[in-house]
Structure 1
Amino acid sequence: MKRQLACLALAVSALSGGMSVPTFAAPFPVTPDMSVPVSQYVTQVNADKSITYRLFAPGAKRVSVITGSTPDNFVSHDMTKDDSGVWSWKSKSLTPNLYEYYFDVDGFRSVDTGSRFQKPQRQVNTSLILVPGSILDDRAVPHGDLLTVTYHSKELRSERRVYIWTPPGYNGKGEPLPVLYFYHGFGDTGLSAIDQGRLPQIMDNLLAEGKIKPMLVVVPDTETEITQAIPENYPPKERRKTFYPLNAKAANRELMHDIIPMVDGRFNVRKDADGRALAGLSQGGYQALVSGMNHLDSFGWLATFSGVTTATVPDAGVAAQLAKPQAINAQLRNFTVVVGEKDSVTGKDIAGLKAELEKQGITFDYKMYPGLNHEMDVWRPAYAEFVQKVFK
Structure 2
Amino acid sequence: MKKHYYLSILLVFILGIQTKAQEALFGAQQITSPEIHENSTVTFRFAAPNAESVEITGDFLPTVKMETPMGQMDGPGKSALTKDDKGIWSFTSSALSPELYSYSFIVDGLKVTDPNNPFLIRDVASVTNVFLVGEGQAALYRVKDVPHGTVAKRWYDSPGLGMDRRLTIYTPPGYEQSNEKFPVLYLLHGAGGDEEAWIALGRTAQIMDNLIAQGKAKPMIVVMPNGNVIQDGAPGEGSDGMYKPQFMVPKTMDGTYEANFMDIIKFVEANYQVKADKANRAIAGLSMGGYHTMHISRFYPNTFDYMGLFSAAIMPREDATGKVYSDLDGTLKTQMDNGYKLYWIAIGKTDFLYDANKEYRAKLDAMGMPYEYVESEGGHIWRNWRVYLTQFAPQLFK
TM range (shorter): 0.7 to 0.9
Q: Hey, what's the Cα distance between the residues in 2 that align with 1:35 and 1:224?
A: 41
The offset of 1:304, in angstroms, is 0.7
Further displaced range: 347-356 or 279-288: 347-356
Aligned twin of 2:83: 81
- Write the distance in 1 (CA, Å) between the matches of 2:279 and 2:85: 63
Equivalent residue for 2:295? 290
Q: 1:93 to 1:243 in 2, by over 3 A?
A: same
Deviations 1:261-317 (A, max 9, x none): 111111110111111100000111111112111111111111110011144575664
2:39 alignment partner in structure 1 = 48
Equivalent of 1:302 in 304, 307, 320: 307
Q: Give the equivalent residue in structure 1 for 2:327.
A: 320
1:113 aligns with 2:115: yes
Which structure has more strand as a fraction of its residues? Answer: 2
Gaps (5+ residues) in structure 1? 1-30
Following superposition of structure 1 onto structure 2, how do residues 140-289 of structure 1 map, counting pairs within 5 Å? 140-171=145-176, 173-225=178-230, 243-246=251-254, 249-257=255-263, 259-289=264-294
Match of 1:332 among 337, 340, 350: 340
Length-normalised TM-score, structure 1: 0.80
Q: Which amino acid aligns with 2:314?
A: T
Partner residue in 2 for 1:359: 366
- Kept in 2: contact 1:288–1:304 (CA 8 A): yes
Whether 1:342 aligns to 2:350 is yes
Q: Distance in 2 between the 1:325 and 1:286 partners?
A: 14
Over 3 Å counting, the alpha-carbon distance change for 1:114 and 1:339 in structure 2 is same
* Equivalent in the alignment of 1:7: none
Cα pair 1:118 1:124 within 8 Å, conserved:
no
Q: State whether residues 59 and 76 of structure 2, in contact with CA within 8 Å, keep that contact through their aligned partners in structure 1.
A: yes
1:377 aligns to what? 383
RMSD: 3.0
Letter in 2 for 1:299: F
Deviations 1:203-252 (A, max 9, x none): 1111111111111001111222359xx9x99x98xx69x85432xx2322
Does the CA-based 8 Å contact 1:311-1:353 persist in structure 2?
no
1:95 corresponds, among 72, 75, 97, to 97
AA aligned to 2:185 is: L
CA contact (8 A) 2:187 2:222 kept: yes
Residue 17 of structure 1: aligned partner: none
SS at match of 2:327: helix
Deviation readout 1:72-124 (Å, 9 max, x if unpaired): 25221101223443322111221111012222121122233332322322302
Q: Give the aligned length.
A: 350
Checking the alignment, whether the CA contact within 8 Å between 1:101 and 1:126 is kept in structure 2 is yes
Separation of aligned partners in 1, 2:394 and 2:308: 12
Structure 2 unaligned blocks of 5 or more: 1-22, 67-73, 236-242
The structure that has the greater radius of gyration is: 1
CA apart distance, 1:364: 0.4
1: distance between equivalents of 2:390 and 2:33?
32
Hey, what's the Cα distance between the residues in 2 that align with 1:155 and 1:172? 33
SS of structure 2 residue aligned to 1:356? helix
TM-score, normalisation: structure 2? 0.79
CA contact (8 A) 2:165 2:231 kept: no
Indicate if the aligned counterparts of 1:183 and 1:279 stay in contact, CA closer than 8 A. yes
Residue 140 of structure 2 aligns to a residue whose secondary structure is coil
